Structure formats: C-alpha cells, structure tokens
Amino acid sequence: QVQLVESGGGLVQAGGSLTLSCLASGRTFSRDVMGWFRQAPGKEREFVAAISWNGGHTNYRDSVRGRFTISRDNAKNTVYLQLNSLKPEDTAVYYCSAKNDGPLAELTTTPARYDYWGQGTQVTVSS
C-alpha cells in the first residue's frame, strides 16, 4: 500500500520553472518505480517521466526530455519533478504515481501499469 500527495503546482509564464513534490507513505515506497503523468482538459492522461527505485535509471517522454528532471530522496519518502523552460502546452494536472512491482520493475509509460496515484496538482503556463 502506498499513499501519495503532490504539491508545488501553480501559474507561471512561458520559460519559467516549477518544482513539483510527491510525498509518499507505505511499506514498499523505497523499492517502487515512481512516475509522473499529466492530463489536460479533453485529453488522455500521458506519461511524463519515471525513475527506478534507486534513482539510477530515468525515462522521459520526448517532448520534455532536456527540460524536466525527475529525482527521488528515499530517506524523505519524496519524489520530485523539476520543470524548466515551461511551454503553454505543458499546462495540465500533474499526477504522481507508484508501480508496486519491486526493484526490478521496468520504467513503463502506460498509466494502467501503475498501482497508486495522488490527487494531482495543477500546472498552468501562460504565453
């Protein structure tokens, strides 16, 4: 069982930055793959980034690679998503997620492969 709470969203101008945080609790957090997804109005939830249990491997969707950085601090039970060089098309609700497959789990991009979800935090980027 894992519980997730996101924070850090807000309104920023294009080119600006935000740092999202996800505080996790649960027995297996430190061994879980963690992911960030986003969903804009009228669109499907889409993969943003994922990170392995020890932070040694990451995966990003092409449109955010080089601009966003996912990281984790298992001692603090926290996962981060640093969003730089933001664009209006990044506007969405951002969700933290956990994949309860153990330390060897793949960094999947499919929402259905993740087991736990936070409530989401809104990111709005103005032109």
Helix (H, G, I), strand (E, B), or coil: what is residue 76? helix
Q: Is the pLDDT of residue 7 over 90?
A: yes
Q: Is the pLDDT of residue 114 over 80?
A: yes
Percent of the chain residues topping a pLDDT of 90: 81
* Amino acid 72: pLDDT: 94
Whether 115 contacts 3, CB under 8 Å: no
Residues 71-112: pLDDT tens digits? 999 889 999 999 999 999 999 999 999 998 776 788 999 999
- Write the DSSP symbol of residue 104: T
More confident site: 40 or 54: 40
* Amino acid 26: pLDDT: 77
* Amino acid 28: pLDDT: 65
CB proximity list for 37: less than 8 A, separation 6 or greater: 45, 46, 47, 48, 94, 95, 97, 111, 114
